[in-house]
Structure 1
Amino acid sequence: MPADAKLIADLRRRALSAQYARPVASPCRDVCRMGQHGYCEGCFRTIDEIAGWANRSDEDKRAIWQTLPQRAATADTAATTDTSNTGDTVQSGRP
């Protein structure tokens, strides 16, 4: 599921808010589905970041938050990948 501009803008706003929050909130959006790009399709964290969230320091959480808008934006461009020298493409997303 490609990220749309509204989702990316929301992630940017929430990432900025997370820089001042105590405790730092989880970016979970209750989508909880890993995409082929290696990120959750809702919050754009890796499985390791999701699994370890509760044990991370606020500093680490803030650093993760800062990466999420860019990940969402680049997930759009990674949604179509070249699979061979013939130029055939495959759409990632839900099977």
Structure 2
Amino acid sequence: MRGIWWLMMSEVVERPVASPCVSICALDEQDICTGCQRTVAEIGRWGRMDNDERRAVLKRCHERALEAGLIMQA
């Protein structure tokens, strides 16, 4: 019975949202990483964020990249 319970619980646990780090770590004048578009505060807190917070950061990173002209709107 423990095997079934473990299987059920492992399906409920969500994997952590991956870091957007691309190993190009340089900050611009606004303290935003030019590689991943996260702020210094977001980078520092990433390891303590839950997945909802991480997804919100990824959305802001995408918006920053659009505003900076680094990516084009699809």
Could you tell me how far 1:38 is from its partner in structure 2? 2.9
The residue that corresponds to 2:53 in the other structure is 60
Matched to 2:40, the amino acid is: I
Question: Which secondary structure state, in structure 2, belongs to the residue aligned with residue 35 of structure 1?
Answer: coil
State the structure with more CA Rg. 2
Structure 1 spans left out of the alignment, 5+ residues? 1-20, 77-95
Distance across 2 between alignment mates of 1:69 and 1:63:
10
Could you tell me how far 1:37 is from its partner in structure 2? 3.5
Residues matched between the structures, number: 56
TM-score after normalising by structure 2: 0.68
Q: Which structure shows the higher strand fraction?
A: 1
Greater relative contact order, per chain length (Cα 8 Å cut-off, separation 6+): 1
Structure 2 spans left out of the alignment, 5+ residues? 1-13, 70-74
User: Which segments of structure 1 move beyond 4 Å, counting only runs of 4 or more?
Assistant: none
* Percent of residue pairs bearing the same amino acid type: 38
Q: 2:21 aligns with which of 20, 28, 34?
A: 28
Do the aligned partners of 1:37 and 1:75 also contact (CA within 8 Å) in 2?
Answer: no
The CA RMSD measured in Å over matched residues stands at 1.5
Distance across 1 between alignment mates of 2:47 and 2:39:
14
